[in-house]
Amino acid sequence: MKFVASMPMYDQPQDLGALDATWIQLRDALRQNGVPAPDALVRRNADLPPVPGGIRDAAGRLVAPDPASLPPDELDLSALWRHPALLFGETCWGPLQHGLDEFVHVVAQNSYDGLTGGQGYFYRSALVVLRGHHNAWDALPTSSFNSVQAMTGQHFVFNDRVSQSGYLSVVRDLEVMGASLDVCSRTTVTGSHLASIMYVANGSADIAAIDCRTWALFRRADPVTADRLRVIGWTMPSMGLPFVCSRHVHSALRRTVAAVARTIMLPIRYNYYV
C-alpha cells in the first residue's frame, strides 16, 4: 500500500499554492532520508487507497468506511485520520482526546507565529459577530473578555463538537467562569468553520468561534464578507494543531518522519503524545 499525506485543516482554495509548497519541502526532505513520501497531498476520498471491509481498530471493530465506498470528490476526515497508509496528516487535539490517538502518533506541531491571536505553539479563536450590532473596532487578543456576557442569550454556531477551536475552547472558557453553553439561547452544528462564519454573516446565528489562522485566511479570501463581521473577543490560548502519522507505519520510519518534520514545523511540546 502506497503512503498518503494530507494537511486538510487549513487547506483552503486561496492557500493551495503555499500549502503545496510546504508539502514539497517536507516531501523532498523525507525522501532524502529514505522515506517514500507521496508526490502530492490527498484532497479527495478517491485518492485514498481502498481498505476492503473498512478501517478497523485493534479489536476488529469497524471505525471508518472503505474510502472506495465514499463520495469520490469529498474528503472524509474520519477515514483519512484512521487510514493505515497515512504517513503524514494534520488533525485537531479534540479528536485525539476522543479516541483518535489509538490510530496515530503525533510527530510535529503547527506554528502560529505571525498571526493575530497566535504565538508559537498556541492559538486563540476569534469570537465573531455581525459588525452592525456592535462597536466598530475588532478586539485584540490581549483585551479583557467576558465569555459569559458575550454568549448569554446568543445563538452560537460551531463546526463540530470535537473541535478544539470551534467548540471545546468556548466550553472550557465558560467553565472557568462557572458557566456552560446553557447560557446560549441556541446552539447549532454547522460542519465547518466556513459554514459557521457564513451563518453569522447571513444573520442566521449570532456568534461563532474561529481559530486565528482560519480567520486570517478567510479575511484574505473574502474581505467583503469579513468586513461585515467583528471580533468581539478571543478565547484563551489552546495548543496548536498536531501533525500525525499512522500507528501502522513502522516505528523506525515513523521516527524518521518525526525527526524530519520537526526541522520544518515545530517539535512536539508534550512527550505524552510522542
Q: pLDDT-derived band of residue 94, with 50, 70 and 90 as boundaries? A: confident
Domain extent listing, the chain: 4-110+241-273, 118-238
- Show Cβ contacts of residue 149 under 8 Å, excluding neighbours closer than 6 positions: none
* Ramachandran region, residue 117 (left: φ > 0; alpha: ψ -120 to 50; beta: rest): left
List, for residues 163-216, the tens digit of each pLDDT value. 999 999 999 999 999 999 999 999 999 999 999 999 999 999 999 999 999 999
Confidence band for 269, pLDDT divided at 50, 70 and 90: low
The pLDDT value given to residue 52:
96
What DSSP string runs through 81-143?
HH-TTEEEEE--HHHHTTTGGGTEEEEEE---TTSTTEETTEE-EEEEEEGGGS-SSPPPTTS
Which residues 6+ apart lie within 8 Å of 108 measured at CB? 242, 243, 258, 261, 262, 264, 265, 266, 267, 268
Over range 143-168, report the average pLDDT: 93
CB 156 within 8 Å of CB 207: yes
Tell me how far apart the alpha carbons of residues 102 and 250 are, in angstroms, rounded to a whole number: 15
The reported pLDDT for the residue numbered 2 is 92
| pLDDT of the residue at 270 | 55
Instruction: Supply 94's cell numbers.
Output: 479534540
Share of the chain above pLDDT 90, in %: 84
Q: Answer whether residue 273 shows pLDDT above 70.
A: no
What class does CATH assign to 118-238? alpha beta
What does the pLDDT average to over 225-234?
A: 95
Residue 146 grid cell: 467576558
Grid coordinates of 194? 466556513
Cβ burial, residue 90 (10 Å; 0-12/13-18/19+): buried
- Say what the pLDDT of residue 133 is: 54
Q: Quick check: 3 pLDDT over 60?
A: yes
54-88 per-position pLDDT tens digit: 999 999 999 999 999 999 999 999 999 999 999 99
User: What nine digits make up the cell of 153?
Assistant: 442569550
The 10s digit of each residue's pLDDT in 48-59 is 999 999 999 999
